[in-house]
Amino acid sequence: MTITLEQAIKSVKEGNLTKEQVENYFDQMSAVFAMLQLEMADLEKEEALFMNGKKDEQSIADRKREWKATESGLKLIRRKREATATKEMISSLKRRTYSLY
């Protein structure tokens, strides 16, 4: 059974987790964070190619605004926030792991 990031955050937030559950969530969230980093790298490469393919007379700000409005640009915005949330969750799980020992 796979759960969404939002479901995992809610489960961890509740705080009624056993030591094994905390360790399991920690491992899973670490893997999710790594996958998010790889996906963001691919999206950032796509962004670089997008920026490079634009006309020289177009400002960088215009290029960035145009990029953010693309499907991949929006996906990158979402993935960055998911990575931040995942990192915070990993930190919380780490603190809980230490308090359970």
Residue 1 scores a pLDDT above 70 = no
Q: Is 25 exposed, middle or buried (0-12, 13-18, 19+ CB in 10 A)?
A: buried
Copy the structure tokens of residue 30: 């670490």
- What residue ranges do the domains of the chain occupy? 19-100
Band (pLDDT 50/70/90 cuts) for residue 16 is: confident
Distance CA 89, CA 85 (A): 6
pLDDT tens across 64-75, in order? 999 999 999 999
Q: pLDDT tens digits, residue range 39-95? A: 999 999 999 999 998 788 889 999 999 999 999 999 999 999 999 999 999 998 988
